[in-house]
Structure 1
Amino acid sequence: MKSLLKIAPIIFLFLGCGGSKLQKVLSSGSVVNPSFTVTVPFEYRQGLMVIKASVAGKEGDFILDTGASNVFSKELQQELALQPLDSEMVYGVHGAGQELEYASVGSIKIGDIDFVNTITAIHDLNAIPEIACINVDGIIGANLMRKAIWDIDFKNQKITITSTEDTLDIPVNHKAINFFVGYQGTPSISAKVNGITALNNRIDTGYTGALSLSRVELQKLINKNRISQYIKGNGSTSVGVYGSGKPEPFYHGIIDNLSYGDLELHNTVVSFTGLDQKLLGLKFLKNYRVILNWNIRKAKFIPTTPYNNTEVSTYGFGPSFKENKLYVKSIIDGSSANENGLKIGDQILAINEVDFSTVTQNQWCTSLQNGVVDNAAKTINMTIQRDSVITKLTLNKTVVLQ
């Protein structure tokens, strides 16, 4: 069962244009150690993986993100006195962009492995409330990760980083997938979606959702009569380094047969959003032990828990935080929110007698962590305000897709 998150999945993804200055230097860097193996723990914060790393002798907390290049906070850059090499326009997965400076980092140590002379972008991570909640110094991205083999044990929250797979215990029944490498190092794989090929699906540990395809893939399925069960919504569905994505149509559908290489899934819920958002996110990946080997360009998936995502149950709305207030940012057609007249832009004043008329940053962080309402609840009472008119609504959690 998929109970739809009422808080949008967080996505960190930098996309540049072909031939850019940043693109040409992102492959730089190396590992000092000729042969190495180290196992380090990680923790989950707001659904994302956070590891310890030492930069020029200073230990900090970093999101581990295969869908991004390295990013340092402005505070860390200033503390380390990093001198920018240049600046570049970079873009998030939902199209928003910003010109960022980037710099070379002499040393990033994870455990006793020393990654030297890699590139990092510099960004004000505290400018986005959802990212500020995570309280990190930056992002360790794929341009660094590609210099080693990463064995990510999501169940036991540990990562083995090694120079050779010979150090790893890999079951013979693992599922192997060939991947392609983007300029920033992100591993991308091909998929078969009800028999139709979809290229460039990114293995993205910076996406807290499950499986996502673009609206282009959905239209192909519709045109070829390869999908019969799907629902539509409208609004913003994700948060990136430049804030929330723009309002647009999005969909959830049931895919009868979905395969990534040897890995096969059946009757699986997939989200369709954006024009190029094809992602395998943490809600899916954490059901496996995943080994990413950039040397031979293979991903190996070892199941640890059953992945079961066959329906969508939801109240039908998603909230956003702006200027100490909560607003409705998305609505799903056919849901209780839709049928009761809730609209994008409505201010949320209260849910189940909890006052949201004024919301602090800390309260928003708590909501991100725990949810705006108890996910086990079947009914909620809402008070909203629209154009100075206050209205009370009762919403039921319903199965809108199965």
Structure 2
Amino acid sequence: MKYFIWPLFILFLSTSCFAQRVTFNRGGISVKNYYQQVPYEFINGRIYLTVEFNGVRRRFLFDTGAPTQITNTLFSELKPQLINQTEITDAAGNKTSLDIVSLPEFKLHGLVFKDIPALVANSELYGCIGIDGVIGSNAMRNSIIQFVQHSKVMIITDDQSKIKLNNNNPTALITGEPQSYPFFILHLSGKKTLKVGFDTGTNNFLRLSGKDASKLAKSGVFEKLAVGYGASRRSLLGLQSPDSLSRLKMLPMAINGCIFDHVMTETAKSNNSRIGTRLLDYGTVTLDFVNHLFYFEPLKLSNDMQERTWPMKPVIEQGKLVVGVVWESLKGKLDVGDQILAIDGKSCETMDLCKWVNGESEEVMKGNTAILKVRNSQGKIGEVLLNRE
């Protein structure tokens, strides 16, 4: 059930500061003319790196949609200098204030990074995926990053001549404050365009913000398939608040000349639309922060992304599997918050969030139909037949 039910680990910064203007665009790699091949783990659409602090190897998530972060536990161990504080909004729309520290030094397979600003953040998700922090886009803002997915290697250099590039169709790479989040232009049907982030913190293909969906509603670039209500996205601070959602099917769109047809997407309660790590399944991505260029070298020039989707999305809440989102075809049959007791006869009365995050979600509802045994808010138990649409 890959790409069906997922908590998202996007950690997007909202720039509101208590003391002074916040920037994470400081520090960097300590030498010039560098080239390093860095192996990574790719698990459930997430990229993991081995980072060394004071001779101790740590597991970090690599997230271009976020600034660098360390957990409270690592902060207590390293005791880095506190330099600021900021308000943040995570990808689920939740808000809080966090400390910002300066990391004096860490190593990534021979590359030495110095004086990198980082948020001090904690999340139950971090414990689930076993990380001590996040390497964000701010740490890579002076480098060229190439993702070679077939060999699970990330090339990091500051010299474009040292990597293989398809120079036929690069597009502008747009970055800025406060963290150098990389954006590029997605070409939509009818010569329309959309500025999207390349976000390795999300494991889907395209996530369209509600704001962008509204702007494009009359442009003819997508077909609206369904409306729904609920919440299925979990980020740094927890599950998002329930809201109205739309499920869309995009007309043909292009990334650096490569065509993607029938892309399915759902609107998100976030500031920006984004392309996630699923793009890596279709070719090699290069983020050239040095020359401000985005490259995509596809495995093939045209891709049909047609897929069938479920009219319901479950989420984990307080140790239970519950209905997170209900799409219109199930209206009146299921409600947001109904507890899912069993799927196709397999009990789901208790559900561990960490197991769900780490792959158990892909082991259920693999076919085109499923029978859910549910308990509603009045305690009534019944069964509902689901069909992929």
**Is the shorter-chain TM-score for this pair beyond 0.5, marking a shared fold?**
yes
Equivalent residue, structure 2, for 1:101: 99
Equivalent residue, structure 2, for 1:44: 42
Question: 1:340, 1:393 within 8 Å by CA — same for their partners in 2?
Answer: no
Equivalent residue, structure 2, for 1:360: 352
Give how far 1:398 is off.
2.1
Equivalent residue, structure 2, for 1:217: 212
Residue type of the alignment partner of 1:355: S
Give how far 1:106 is off.
0.8
Deviations 1:371-394 (A, max 9, x none): 264453232222211134342324
Deviations 1:52-103 (A, max 9, x none): 1112332101111111000101111111122322321111134211110110
Give how far 1:346 is off.
0.2
Question: 1:191, 1:258 within 8 Å by CA — same for their partners in 2?
Answer: yes
| TM-score, structure 2 normalization | 0.91
Distance in 2 of aligned mates of 1:324 and 1:332: 23
- Whether 1:67 aligns to 2:62 is no
> Paired residue for 1:81, among 79, 82, 89?
79
Equivalent residue, structure 1, for 2:333: 341
Distance in 2 of aligned mates of 1:205 and 1:383: 35
Poorly superposed stretches of 4+, deviation over 6 Å: none
Equivalent residue, structure 2, for 1:177: 171
Residue type of the alignment partner of 2:171: I
Deviations 1:8-52 (A, max 9, x none): 4432222223x7757544111022122211111111234210011
> Paired residue for 1:268, among 260, 263, 268?
263
* Distance change >3 Å, CA 167–CA 277, structure 1 → 2: same
Residue type of the alignment partner of 1:364: W
* Distance change >3 Å, CA 82–CA 273, structure 1 → 2: same
Give how far 1:198 is off.
4.8
* Distance change >3 Å, CA 377–CA 306, structure 1 → 2: farther
Output the aligned Cα RMSD: 2.5
* Distance change >3 Å, CA 102–CA 229, structure 1 → 2: closer
Distance in 2 of aligned mates of 1:340 and 1:373: 27
Distance in 2 of aligned mates of 1:278 and 1:206: 13
Distance in 2 of aligned mates of 1:207 and 1:80: 28
> Paired residue for 1:241, among 236, 243, 250?
236
Structure 2 residue runs of 5 or longer lacking an equivalent are: none
| Identity of matched residues, % | 19
- Whether 1:315 aligns to 2:310 is yes
Equivalent residue, structure 1, for 2:368: 378
Give how far 1:145 is off.
1.1
Residue type of the alignment partner of 1:293: D
Distance in 2 of aligned mates of 1:172 and 1:289: 13
| TM-score, structure 1 normalization | 0.88
Deviations 1:198-240 (A, max 9, x none): 5541110001111122223333333345544432222113221
Give how far 1:299 is off.
1.1
* Distance change >3 Å, CA 214–CA 105, structure 1 → 2: same
Equivalent residue, structure 1, for 2:284: 289
Residue type of the alignment partner of 1:359: M
Distance in 2 of aligned mates of 1:320 and 1:351: 14
- Whether 1:396 aligns to 2:386 is yes
Question: 2:343, 2:365 within 8 Å by CA — same for their partners in 1?
Answer: no
* Distance change >3 Å, CA 139–CA 294, structure 1 → 2: same
Give how far 1:320 is off.
1.6
The aligned length equals 388
